[in-house]
Structure 1
Amino acid sequence: MATSAASSPSLTQKLRGLSGEVVKFGIVGLSGFVVNFAVFWVCINTLHLASLRSNIVATLIAIATNYLGYRYWLYRDRDAASRKREITLFLVFSGIGMLIETGVLGFSVYVLGLDSHFEQLGAKVAGLAVATVFRFLSYRTWVFTALPETADETANGSAAEPAGAAAGSELAAQAELMLAAEEIRYAKAE
């Protein structure tokens, strides 16, 4: 089935949508950043844990807070039919991000000898920057998948509908998908 040019968004619209997503991802990430660094600082200075242990504890707590922000704010309109799959993938990709971040910190402390608290914070920032790019790409691609388009949207082109009708049909489509997911869940339970 061919789609018309009116039904597919332009490159400008896609980039505008992606930039809004990047900003929201950054806001959630910034809150995780604050949690991560606060816990890291407390673990190093108050609990006197080693830097890698402190990093792991801080990152695990930040992962939990970030999941809530991503699921219930940034990606709330994405498919949530398979929560077990979503959480599993989120934890796997977050764990890989944590390994990236901890690897950079470990390299700077144990190979380069940068072991003062401020040097460790700098290494943590560098590792977190690399891990953030990885997490953004993996979360949006594999974890929080987009809802599939309904046949009505692709055939009629949702851009031709008035704003109120588009919102109503989108809400109806989401409700239908949720009901279908519930029916599948109940069928598996029986």
Structure 2
Amino acid sequence: MTSTAAVTPSLRTRMWARLLELVRFGSVGALAYVVDLGIFNLIRGSEQLGHKPITAKVISVAVATLVAWIGNRYWTFSDRRTDTRGRELLGFVVVNVGGMLVAVACLAVSHYVLGFRSQLADNVSANGIGLVLGTAFRYVAYRRWVFTGTHPAPGDGERAPGA
């Protein structure tokens, strides 16, 4: 007779796998953040679109989304990716639009409702507060709705029959 401990991964193993996944997610997110921040500030400082912070944020997030999808698909969630790249990319984009709306809402409230119109204030609201709230939403949504492949990470979702 096989013991339950031998069949199901230990809590420590599952926690370690999740921690590694979070570190990878954070690394990919950090790279995408640098892309987002750089493009946002480049556009925000330009003569053509400098007076349109919402447009700047939408463009910067669109580019950063592609960077994040590649990193998350091929590194963070590589063992959970699906065979249907198109569906996965579409789901990723939808989730990122949701995350972008969080950041844009923070920026809109700060810039237009509260009247904080400096570049620093725009960065704090969109790339600080909006980033934290949007990141939490994205991580949960990626795991739940985007990267749903049948090969879960070790200790993540594999259970003994009847467990």
Q: TM-score range by the shorter chain?
A: 0.7 to 0.9
Q: Check the 8 A contact 2:28/2:71 in 1, yes or no.
A: yes
Determine whether 1:141 maps to 2:136: no
Question: Residues of 2 paired with 1:83 and 1:146: CA distance?
Answer: 11
Question: Residues of 2 paired with 1:135 and 1:116: CA distance?
Answer: 28
Report 1 or 2 for greater relative contact order, CA contacts < 8 Å, sequence distance ≥ 6: 2
- Percent sequence identity is 32
Question: Residues of 2 paired with 1:19 and 1:12: CA distance?
Answer: 10
Residue-by-residue CA offset, 1:64-123 (whole Å, 9 max, x unaligned):
111110111212222422222211211111111111110111111001111100111110
> Cα–Cα, structure 1 residues 26 and 44, in superposed 2: closer, same or farther, change >3 Å?
same
Shift of 1:147: 2.0
Give 2:32's aligned residue: 32
State how many pairs are aligned: 151
Q: Check the 8 A contact 1:43/1:49 in 2, yes or no.
A: no
Q: Provide runs of 4+ in structure 1 moved above 4 Å.
A: none
Question: Residues of 2 paired with 1:9 and 1:154: CA distance?
Answer: 8
Question: Residues of 2 paired with 1:131 and 1:18: CA distance?
Answer: 19
Unmatched 5+ residue regions in structure 2? Answer: 153-157
Residue-by-residue CA offset, 1:46-68 (whole Å, 9 max, x unaligned):
24241111110100110011111
Q: Check the 8 A contact 1:3/1:154 in 2, yes or no.
A: no
Richer in helix (by share): 1
RMSD, aligned α-carbons = 2.0
Give TM-score scaled by structure 2 length: 0.85
Question: Residues of 1 paired with 2:132 and 2:159: CA distance?
Answer: 38
Question: Residues of 1 paired with 2:70 and 2:142: CA distance?
Answer: 13
Unmatched 5+ residue regions in structure 1? Answer: 156-190
Question: Residues of 2 paired with 1:15 and 1:93: CA distance?
Answer: 25
Choose which of 120, 125, 135 in structure 2 pairs with 1:132: 135
> Cα–Cα, structure 1 residues 117 and 13, in superposed 2: closer, same or farther, change >3 Å?
same
Give TM-score scaled by structure 1 length: 0.74
Q: Check the 8 A contact 2:80/2:151 in 1, yes or no.
A: no
